[in-house]
Amino acid sequence: MVLGCALLAVLSGPAASSRLQFEANSGGPTQAQINAAENQVRRHQAALGAEQGKLSAASATLTKLQTQAEVLTEQYDKTLVNEQRAASAYQVTETRLAQADRQENSSARRLAGLAEEEFESGGGFDPVTSMLGDADGPQAYMNQVGLGQVLAQSSTDTLAENQANGTVAAVFRNQAHDLLVARQGDLKAANDLKLAVQSAVARQVAYVQATKNARNKLAGQVAAAQAHESALAAARQAALAAAARAAAAAAARAAAAAGGGAGSTQVPSWAWGSGASSTQGDIAANWALSQIGKPYQWGGAGPDTYDCSGLTMQAWSHAGVQLLHYTGYQWEEGPHVPLDDLQRGDLLFFATNTADPATIHHVGIYIGNGMMVDAPYTGVDVRIDSMYQPGGLIGAVRPAG
């Protein structure tokens, strides 16, 4: 309780009041606005996560459907082969049926001819009348009777052949009908299967695409919210630093006026504020990474070409910090930081003589793990290098926020 009261007293004291008044007068976004922006980012990220889950599930379902479609495609191919076999068998059966029909018609014609011959040879008289009336006598009749028996037997054989041909034709006719029905059934089954597979896959593809579009839209909202939050944070940091510098400059002027200006010295502008925030450093480093692959050009400051200080100047302008386009000046535009205390976005300087800042000739942007992004020299694009690769590392600066 005592500690709580003491803390409340401190927060209620003149220092806290001055701090709140200072922040209110800075003209930048308030901490509440930044907190609201951060909450908005978290809400969008939660919605994006849920939509990503839906997309993953939909994609998994599509993968299963596509696998099933491959299996069904093989069944479709099998059905088509069966249809082709049925079509070939149907054609063979049709040929056999035509031949059987011809044989049946031929035997029927022969049977009709025999019947006609029997009738014309006297088949309408009884045997005794035929024998007595025969001009050549009984022997001739007997011979005739033998011929009749032969003819009768021939008629019987022809009739049997005709019946057999009719039976064969009927069998082939039924077989052809069955094969035609099977062929038509196979074709219908194949087409139905194909339509079902195509419809299922098409529906799932459309659903996956719609889900992906929704995911991409949410991802854009997250990116916009993050950019808004980063911009607010950078603007707040810059506004606070500017207000601090203004207040310090006013105090310095007042002190100089009171002391008659004796012994006054030139103080760097960044001395009145602090180095940029880690958020600003991340913004500068990430933007520099987005420029990889663009060519080096003397005096280049974007958007298509850069020299070393032009790249660092543009990177930090995206974080809300204005630097001059010259390595010598950038060396003075923020507090120097130890190499074992680097954070992303810090500027790394290189000199021909590491004991003399006047010999600085190159600058890069630290991105972590001993690496930096820089625009090295003519003929080489913006790239990632080791911070020790150029040689002559003289020190690091954290641009003033």
Chain centroid, CA 97 distance in Å? 58
Q: Is residue 327 part of a domain?
A: yes
- The CATH number of the domain holding residue 84 is 1.10.287
- Looking at residue 309, its pLDDT comes to 95
332 occurs within a structural domain: yes
Mean pLDDT over the full length of the chain? 78
In whole angstroms, give the CA distance from residue 236 to residue 27: 8
Q: Give the tokens for residue 314.
A: 């543009």
CB 331 within 8 Å of CB 397: yes
Task: Provide the β-strand partners of residue 275.
Answer: 400
| 77: in domain | yes
Report if residue 333 sits inside a domain: yes
Is residue 375 a contact partner of residue 382, using CB atoms and an 8 Å limit?
Answer: yes
End-to-end CA distance of the chain: 38
Are 333 and 363 in contact, with CB atoms under 8 Å apart?
A: no
User: Do 292 and 360 reside in the same domain of the chain?
Assistant: yes
* 207 falls within a domain: yes
Q: Phi and psi for 132 in degrees, rounded to 5?
A: -70, -35
DSSP string, 186-240: HHHHHHHHHHHHHHHHHHHHHHHHHHHHHHHHHHHHHHHHHHHHHHHHHHHHHHH
Domain ranges, residue 357: 276-401
Condensed to tens digits (0 to 9), the pLDDT of residues 154-211 reads 667 766 777 777 787 788 788 778 877 877 787 787 788 778 877 888 898 899 999 8
Contact 97, 173 (CB under 8 A): yes
Q: What is the mean pLDDT of residues 16-44?
A: 71
Please tell me which residue, 395 or 171, carries the higher pLDDT value: 395
Over range 341-358, report the average pLDDT: 94
Long-range pairs of 66-74 with CB within 8 A, sequence gap ≥ 24: 66/201, 68/197, 69/197, 69/200, 69/201, 72/193, 72/196, 72/197, 73/197
Q: In this predicted structure, what is the pLDDT of residue 192?
A: 84
Alpha-carbon distances, residue 216 vs 44, 48, 250, 302 (angstroms): 12, 9, 50, 29
Planar angle of CA 47, 53, 54, nearest 5 degrees:
90
Query: Of 135 and 297, which is predicted with more confidence?
Result: 297
* 266-292 residue pLDDT tens: 445 454 446 899 999 999 999 999 999
Answer yes or no: do 221 and 293 share one domain: no
Give the domain-ending residue among 187, 205, 227: 227
Cβ proximity of 229 and 37 under 8 Å = yes
Give the model confidence (pLDDT) of 213-233 as tens digits: 998 888 888 888 877 876 776
Q: What percent of the chain shows pLDDT beyond 70?
A: 71
Q: Which one has a higher pLDDT value, 264 or 240?
A: 240
Q: Return d(Cα 364, Cα 164) in angstroms, integer.
A: 103
Alpha carbon separation from 150 to 137, 147, 153 (Å, rounded): 20, 5, 5
Same domain membership, residue 207 and residue 336: no
Compare 78 and 389 and report the one with higher pLDDT.
389
- The distance between the two most distant Cα atoms of the chain, rounded to a whole number of Å, is 180
Distances, alpha carbon 285 to alpha carbons 243, 281, 288, 315, in Å: 25, 6, 5, 7
Task: Give the chain's domain count.
Answer: 2
CATH number at residue 328: 3.90.1720.10
Contacts (Cβ under 8 Å, ≥6 apart) of 336: 395, 396, 397
pLDDT, position 21 = 53
* Least confident residue range of 26-30, 84-88, 279-283: 26-30
CB proximity list for 219: less than 8 A, separation 6 or greater: 48
pLDDT band, residue 362 (cuts 50/70/90): very high
Considering the domain boundaries, does residue 134 fall inside one? Answer: no
Rg (CA), the chain: 52
What are the tokens at 88? Answer: 């070939």
Least-confidence region, from 26-35, 50-59, 95-104: 26-35
pLDDT digits (tens, 9 = 90+) for 89-140: 878 888 877 888 887 788 778 767 766 766 666 554 455 555 455 556 555 6
DSSP state letter for 276 = P
Cβ(313)–Cβ(334) below 8 Å: no
Secondary structure class of 384 (helix, strand, coil) = strand
Are both 195 and 283 inside the same structural domain? no
